[in-house]
Structures are given as structure tokens and as C-alpha cells.
Structure 1
């Protein structure tokens, strides 16, 4: 009986010591970081700062991978992060950055899925189209932009900005050109009608003097002219 009790005590004590050793940061510390993926906007220091918060758990067995992943994906420019441990002391992190397609309401960005990215657009003006609308309709605005942009490319028009107001009426500013008022309905049809008559406009008028073309009419459109500078 005494031998059996002693054996149980020895096993339990050994288990506790092994567990303590495995979970002690000093025993199996993670000392090497490998960061892969695009790093245009996500800095190495951003990742290090998150790992530093886990300093008491930077052990091969106790590292909170899910927590680190959550914190990384909370960074504005990170779309997704994957984390792997490599024996005996390496943590490997792969970052996928946000794929930005537009500036949203002059203060945020939109990714290719129509999701708002709460990052500053500072320094990105001119690099992306500017889109405007209510946040809940961000994806709808992006879809409208893509469809209309494809049609306008036929005549080499490029969109500088597209705005959907509270009634979902669309207004477009073309690059180095005039504005298009599309209204709420039949937007693609109105663009197609505009493209059909544009060659006639180009021959008859000085296009540079046009301020806007209003396409919200069933049987035609209206032209607004730029005011002469005094």
C-alpha cells in the first residue's frame, strides 16, 4: 500500500513539474517571428506590438493563437491573418492586406467586397475613385460604380466620383470632364442612351464648356453650361 501511494505521489509530482516546465515562458520561449504576405500598409512593428501584449504567454504551448489572430484582424489594413508555430521557438504569421478599390465618403475606404475599411484615405486621393452614400448601402454603391464604369469605358470615360443621395439617386463626376445626373431608375439604360448621342454632342458643341448632362428625362436630356468667369 505504501509503495502504491508513493508511486502515485511520484507520478503526480512529475506531471506537475512537466506541466510547469512546458508552460513556463523561460522554458520554451518563442524567440523568432517570421512575417509573410504583403506588407505595404501593415508594419512589422504593428505585429510586434500585439505580440508584446502576450509577453507572459510567449511560450510554444501557451501561446493564444486565436487571440493574436483576432487582434491582428482588428487592424484596419488587415483583411485576414493566419498563424503557425514551428518547433521549437518560431511563430510564423501570414498577413493578407485589404484590397482597396475606393475612397468612401472622404474619410474611410472600401475593399473589393464592398466592406468599409476604417482607415484614413490620406495620401490616396487620385489613386482610387471616390464613392459617397449611406454606410448601409456601401456595397450597392460599389456595384453601381462597377456596372456604370464598364459602360463608360466604351467611350474612354473614367469616373472620378460617384454619389448616391438619400433617395438613391446617382450623380457622377467624370475625370477631366462634366457631371452626369442619372436619377433613381434605369441608370444603365440612361448611360447607354448618353453614349449613343455623345458623338453628336461632341461634333456640335464644345465639350469643355459643359458643366453637366441631366439624364433624368424619359425622352431626352438637358445640358448645363459652365458659367463664364468674370
Structure 2
């Protein structure tokens, strides 16, 4: 090899290229870490260009302080995205660089529909369960409305949301609206209406079981409500009838047979 001029030249050229490459890489690394490239601004915008209702300077500062590292070149955008998505009320975030010294973060907020379970979490209008300040969610409701209450087995959130939307349509003809919906571990449904009444709908034996039971109740509701006051619970799991309980309900005594 030592007598092969071409091989020696090739080897020398290779070593030289490696050295130059290392020097260039070191220079780029050194330059990229200069203070001149420090992040000066992180601008937060709404994905739909609307007004952010719950994500503000205070929540962002509390949620991201000390967790975003690096400068314009070295900040890991995926890590920054995850940091912002961990902030209360943030459903989704995207991050991009904007020369010379800022990051643009676009966020989508959760829109609370009601509470989920008994641990203070919220259910969004898109079927996501998230943790945020319950008082803020309640402020979004009209004064005469409370947050609906939802519950169900883990992973059933979107199914519960779908059933809630359907129940609103099914009860609308008699001016009743669901104010709560529970799916038990046995997958039986119970809906609470805005008049305080609880309706047991049971399990979905067929794809139309719930709809048929609600329609049966809706069909007789005007006559039922006019005859029985203060109904608390109705059980619609009977094939051709129902059972109910009401405050002060009295069963007429049977007339004696003659």
C-alpha cells in the first residue's frame, strides 16, 4: 500500500474530508448554540383563528415554564408540542419555527360538554375526557343550565356521547332533554332528564332497542304526565309496559266484590 501512490492519495483525501466534515459540524454546532439564536418569542394562536376562551398567558406560563429547552435551531418541536398539549384545556397543538427567533404554536381548545365520572374530569363535545378547572366549564353554560353528567366504562366515552346526541333528538318531541347519561359496567343505559326524572333503558339487545323504548315512553308521556305527578323513576325495560315511582304516589284500593 505504501508504494501505491493512488491508494495513498485516496486515503489522504478521505482523512482530509473527514477532518473537514468534523470541523464544519463542530462549527455549525458552535454557531447554532450562540445566544443570538435564543428564542425570544413563543406566539400562541388559535387553530380556527377564533378567540381562545380558556388558554391564556397564565395557564401557558404555569404549564410550560422550565419545560421548553433549546434555541431557535435546537428546540425539539415534537417535545414542545407535547408540552403544550399537557396544558389544561389544550386538545391539540402544532408548532413551527419562524425566523429569526420565535416559535408559532397553534392550539385547539377542548369544548366541555359535561362532567365525566366522579373524579372531576370533563367530557368534551368531541368525546375526549380531560382534566381542567370545573368552575371554568360551568361558566360557559347559561345560568339556567348545569353541566350534564356522564359516566361509563373506560373507553366508552365516544359511545356515550353518540347516545346522548341521539337521546336529545328522541326526547325533543315532548320537550324533555337529557341532563345526564350513565352506562353501567354491564352496558345498561340510564338517562336523567332535565325534569329530574331518571329513565332506565337497559341493555341494547338490538341496534334499535333504545330508540324503541324511548319512542314508547314519548308516545304515552303526555297522558302519563297529566295523571301522575312528581315522577322520579321510570323503568322501560319491560317489553310491553313500564314501572315507575313518584313522590306521594298512592295505589287506589281495590273495590270489594259484591
Shorter-normalised TM range: 0.7 to 0.9
Name the TM-score, length of structure 1 as normaliser.
0.82
The superposition leaves residues 70-110 of structure 1 with CA deviations (integer Å, 9 ceiling, x where unpaired) of 12112342111111221112221111111322210132112
- Asked whether 1:60 is paired with 2:60, we answer no
Kindly report which structure 2 residues correspond to 1:86-165, keeping only aligned pairs within 5 A, or say none: 86-106=98-118, 107-122=120-135, 124=137, 126-165=145-184
**How far did 1:139 drift?**
2.2
Unaligned runs of 5+ in 2: 1-8, 139-144, 250-258
Partner residue, 1:197: 220
Q: Would the alpha carbon gap of residues 123 and 77 (structure 1) be closer, same or farther in structure 2, given more than 3 Å must change?
A: closer
Match of 2:40 among 31, 35, 51: 31
Asked whether 1:43 is paired with 2:56, we answer: yes
Q: Which runs of 5+ in 1 are unaligned?
A: none
Instruction: Name the stretch that deviates more: 121-130 or 72-81.
Output: 121-130
User: 1:20 maps to what in 2?
Assistant: 30
User: What is the aligned-residue RMSD (CA, Å)?
Assistant: 2.8
Shift of the 123–28 alpha-carbon distance from structure 1 to 2, 3 Å rule, reads closer
- Tell me the TM-score normalized by structure 2: 0.74
**Equivalents in 1 of 2:237, 2:129: separation in Å?**
30
Compute the displacement of 1:140 (Å). Answer: 2.0
Structure 1 residue aligned with 2:203:
184
Residues in 2 aligned to 1:143 and 1:12: alpha-carbon distance in whole angstroms: 59
* Deviation of 1:202 (Å): 3.2
Residue-by-residue CA offset, 1:138-168 (whole Å, 9 max, x unaligned): 2222222211121111221111111122222
DSSP 3-state at the match of 2:64:
helix
CA contact (8 A) 1:85 1:91 kept: yes
Instruction: Check whether the contact 1:82–1:94 (CA below 8 A) recurs between aligned residues.
Output: yes
Match of 1:220 in 2: 241
Mapped contact 1:169–1:183 kept (Cα < 8 A): yes
* Matched pairs, number: 219
**Offset, 1:121:** 3.0
Q: Name which of structure 1's ranges 176-185 and 9-18 shifts more when overlaid on structure 2.
A: 9-18
Higher Rg of the two aligned structures = 2
